[in-house]
Amino acid sequence: MAAVVATALFALTAAAEAPLVEAVADTGREQVVAYPGEFFERYQPRTALDMVQRVPGFSVDDGDGTRGFGGAAGNVLINGRRPSAKQDRPSEILDRVPAAHVAGIDLVRGSVDGIDLRGQSVVVNVHLRDDAPATIRWEASVRQDLRAGPLSPSGRISRTDRWRDVQYTVGLLARRRGGNVEGGRELLLDGDDALLETRLEESIDLTRDLLGSLAASRWFGENFVQVNAVVSLDSSDLREDSFRVPSRDSNREAGTDFFGTGFDRWQLELGADAERAVRPDLVANLIGLFIYEDRDGFSRQRSTGPDDALRLRRDADTGRERIEAIARTELRWAPVPEHVFQFNAEGAYNSLDSDLVLFVDAGDGPVIVDVPGANTRVEERRADVLVSDTWSRGAFEVDVGVGAEVSRISQSGDAERSRQFAYAKPRLGVTYSPDRGRQWRGRLAREVSQLDFSDFVSATNFADDDLDLGNPDLQPETKWIAELGWERRFGEIGVVRVTGYHHWISDVEDLLPITERFEAPGNIGDGRRWGLDLSTTVALSALNLDNARMDFTASWQDSRVTDPVTGARRELSEDLEYEFTVDYRQDLEARAIAWGWDASYEADRPLYKVNEFDTTQRRLAVNAFVETHRWRGLRVRLEGEHLFHTRLLRDRVVYAGLRDLSLVDFRETRKRRRGQRFTLSVSGTF
């Protein structure tokens, strides 16, 4: 790791004084760095996603899938517009667009041309050609896990064309993934760390996906209309086997536990928006979105003794139906050259219907067991508005806005609740861009989190012999965000970005004690989070590595909240203290070959329960690839994942009573390895 960082810093130092190479187009706006299509030719891209992934200092954000349309649209625009989609991720949309249809990509680092960044520091704007011929893109691949499992094939095909005046892309994806194997062992220790039992474990995950998509757009006079539709079917089946061998000094019996979880799901998403220039200085946009999801799941446990006699059997069957409907309007008004006023209004409806049936057989036959809070319906009705002004003056740009939202959440079934919320959401952003090579960014805003409706619903957790209870009294977490970022661009692709942030959080969402054994998602008071993000892209020509680049990202953060069990100060559950990724790529253009590797590492992920302290960690993960396009324009790619058997660790400490206030009852330490797997893919266009 030290060698990698030293290499990156050496190359960075060598090029730090180099001016920004004008391989990019001059837009006349310091907030925009424009990369023409020719810039990406060295990478031999096949799709718009390949091109976006090569934009220096940028990574695709698919959005969090929550908070309506305005807060979940990611950081990708196509022809200046966000796709009218939410579950259909921007990366998937870009992967269906052939590279030949992309004229260029703008890296936008400010609210120029009335673009609402929606909390993002930067976005990319992908410009599509109007005169590109009809193109069919296809890809076929096969993956093999070296530990076990059958071959896993997948295929996708998409067609981009114009029919009359309609520009469209239609796509189909079929995929079967098998053999995602994890193997290892778990040790069961008593309160004094004496070995009680060794568990030899292995798990295998099988998934199947079928997805069809359509994106179409057309001008109707002065109205631009685009439609997005996605229909998907997918299923998952995860099996875990645990062979339990007691220690010589314990009184435990040998046995085997079989766990199984899975689901079958189908989902529909329909989105449409219409844009019209009402006047030369006034543009209106109407957006509609509808999502429907039907999911049937199951959990199974079968425990046997040394003579294979049944000791315990548990079966849980769940059904969930989810609906989301959004209507949104956006107005952009630019009465004077220096100002762009924005007005957004959005209304949303969300609902979740959930039911669960649990059977338990301890040897006397199956018995139905009631799980409180598992059979319920949750509904949310929400409306929010925003008025903002983006003011540009020379190298400075100021974005100031005032927003507000009101919502009502009701629950029926096992729990009857109805609550209303109202929040103000002001924001202020300042950008200073003395030239395209340098930029400072500052932001202060208040944000409201979107509640996960699954947190309202109880569920089983057989592997930990626990229940994940729902909480009908959960309310949204709010936070004030302060950010300060600095960016420096140099050479042709060199970039350094550093961002520091501080969050003041109210009604922190964490795990709230219910009894001395059970907890539920809840609000545990006020907290803080602060941290630093670093990302760099450097060309390695100073090391005599032609057409080679290294991307490095790292983050560090800390947080504080008062623990509801102990009253002591601690970090927030699920917060990572640090993580990093290194990505190397070299394009040997004369040989039509590219190769590269990436490595990532992350810190412990803590989880604080009422009577447990649980940490998980993913150790060093290393992947590599080699690809060529020298045969008939086809791209052939071989990719290896988890080359050094990525280690997955878990340390679960269970107390006899309240965590840290009573003696340790037992401890489970697990070490698993994610198996090596290789994927061979062939793709092309015609």
Whether residue 406 sits in one domain with residue 374: yes
Q: How far apart are CA 87 and CA 83, in angstroms?
A: 11
Structure confidence by residue, pLDDT tens digits, 245-267: 999 888 888 999 999 999 999 99
What's the average model confidence in pLDDT over 204-232? Answer: 93
- Beta carbons of 602 and 578 less than 8 angstroms apart: yes
Q: How far apart are CA 612 and CA 123, in angstroms?
A: 41
516, two tokens: 């001395």
Closest CA to 543 of 15, 82, 146, 1: 15
Q: How far apart are CA 213 and CA 209, in angstroms?
A: 13
Exposed / middle / buried, residue 363 (Cβ in 10 Å: 0-12, 13-18, 19+): exposed
Those residues whose C-beta lies under 8 Å from the C-beta of residue 463, and which sit 6 or more positions away, are 240, 259, 301
Q: So what's the pLDDT on residue 114?
A: 61
Whether residue 175 sits in one domain with residue 117: no
In the predicted structure, residue 1 carries a pLDDT above the cut 60: no
| Model confidence band, residue 25 (pLDDT cutoffs 50, 70, 90) | low
Strand-pairing partners, residue 40, are none
% of the chain residues with pLDDT over 90: 64
Whether residue 66 sits in one domain with residue 190: no
- Residue at 5 is within a domain: no
311, two tokens: 């000791």
In the predicted structure, residue 656 carries a pLDDT above the cut 90: yes
- CA atoms within 13 Å, Cβ hemisphere of 321: 5
Question: Which DSSP letter does residue 5 get?
Answer: H
Closest CA to 477 of 526, 408, 414, 407: 526
The enclosing domain of 128 has a CATH number of 2.170.130.10
Q: So what's the pLDDT on residue 2?
A: 40
Closest CA to 358 of 349, 346, 366, 348: 366
| Model confidence band, residue 122 (pLDDT cutoffs 50, 70, 90) | confident
- Residue at 1 is within a domain: no
At residue 580, the 3 state secondary structure works out as strand
**DSSP character string of 192-254:** T--EEEEEEEEEEEEEEEEEEEEEEEEEETTEEEEEEEEEEEEEEEEEEEEEEEE-TTS-PPP
Whether residue 313 sits in one domain with residue 185: yes
Whether residue 161 sits in one domain with residue 271: yes
- Beta carbons of 520 and 512 less than 8 angstroms apart: yes
Whether residue 222 sits in one domain with residue 117: no
DSSP 3-state helix, strand, coil percentages of the chain (rounded to 5)?
A: 5, 65, 30
What's the average model confidence in pLDDT over 452-471? Answer: 88
Structure confidence by residue, pLDDT tens digits, 661-677: 999 999 999 999 888 99
Q: Which residues of 449-481 are buried (b: 16+ CB within 10 A; e: fewer)?
A: bbbebbbbbbbbebeeebbbbbbbebbbbbbeb
Q: How many helices (H) and strands (E) does the chain have?
A: 3, 36
Regarding beta strands 166-190 and 195-220, do their DSSP bridges make them parallel or antiparallel, or are they unpaired? antiparallel
What domain range is 36 assigned to? 31-133
**DSSP character string of 116-167:** --TT-S-EEEEEEPSSPPPEEEEEEEEEEESSS---EEEEEEEEEEEETTEE
- Beta carbons of 653 and 623 less than 8 angstroms apart: no
Whether residue 217 sits in one domain with residue 119: no
Q: So what's the pLDDT on residue 90?
A: 86
Those residues whose C-beta lies under 8 Å from the C-beta of residue 86, and which sit 6 or more positions away, are 63, 65, 69, 72, 73, 269, 271, 289, 291, 324, 326
How many domains would you assign to the chain?
2
| Model confidence band, residue 67 (pLDDT cutoffs 50, 70, 90) | low
Which is more confident, 19 or 49? 49
- Give long-range contacts, CB 8 A cutoff, 24+ apart: 338-342: 338/391, 338/392, 338/393, 339/389, 339/390, 339/391, 339/392, 340/111, 340/113, 340/114, 340/389, 340/390, 341/387, 341/388, 341/389, 341/390, 342/114, 342/116, 342/386, 342/387, 342/388, 342/389, 342/390, 342/401
Strand-pairing partners, residue 288, are 272, 327
Which is more confident, 249 or 507? 507
What's the average model confidence in pLDDT over 480-509? Answer: 95
| Model confidence band, residue 492 (pLDDT cutoffs 50, 70, 90) | confident
302, two tokens: 């079968």
In the predicted structure, residue 65 carries a pLDDT above the cut 60: no
- Residue at 12 is within a domain: no
- Residue at 21 is within a domain: no
Q: So what's the pLDDT on residue 110?
A: 73
Whether residue 632 sits in one domain with residue 662: yes
- Beta carbons of 423 and 450 less than 8 angstroms apart: no
Which is more confident, 183 or 617? 617
What's the average model confidence in pLDDT over 634-662? Answer: 94
- Beta carbons of 292 and 317 less than 8 angstroms apart: no
| Model confidence band, residue 5 (pLDDT cutoffs 50, 70, 90) | very low
Q: Please identify which residue in the block is written with the tokens 């966000």.
A: 82
Structure confidence by residue, pLDDT tens digits, 358-391: 999 988 888 999 888 889 999 999 999 999 998 8
Least confident of 107-121, 210-224, 355-369, 405-419: 107-121
Structure confidence by residue, pLDDT tens digits, 522-573: 999 999 999 999 999 999 988 889 899 999 999 999 999 999 999 999 999 9
% of the chain residues with pLDDT over 70: 92
- Residue at 168 is within a domain: yes
Whether residue 427 sits in one domain with residue 341: yes
Which is more confident, 90 or 577? 577
Q: So what's the pLDDT on residue 255?
A: 92
- Domain boundary (106, 133, 160) is at 133
Q: How far apart are CA 635 and CA 628, in angstroms?
A: 6
Whether residue 177 sits in one domain with residue 71: no
- Residue at 19 is within a domain: no
- Residue at 274 is within a domain: yes
Give phi and psi for 42, each to the nearest 5: -60, -25
Q: Across 31-113, where does the E strand assignment appear?
A: 32-36, 76-78, 102-108
* H or E, element range at 662: none
Most trustworthy range by pLDDT among 86-95, 305-314, 641-650 = 641-650
- Residue at 55 is within a domain: yes
Whether residue 144 sits in one domain with residue 103: no
Structure confidence by residue, pLDDT tens digits, 582-623: 999 999 988 899 999 999 999 999 999 999 999 999 999 999
| Model confidence band, residue 22 (pLDDT cutoffs 50, 70, 90) | very low
- Domain boundary (83, 102, 133) is at 133
Whether residue 122 sits in one domain with residue 164: no
Longest dimension (CA), the chain: 84
Structure confidence by residue, pLDDT tens digits, 309-328: 889 999 999 999 999 999 99
- Residues found in the chain: 686
The enclosing domain of 633 has a CATH number of 2.40.170.20
Q: So what's the pLDDT on residue 85?
A: 80
In the predicted structure, residue 12 carries a pLDDT above the cut 50: no
- Domain boundary (74, 106, 133) is at 133
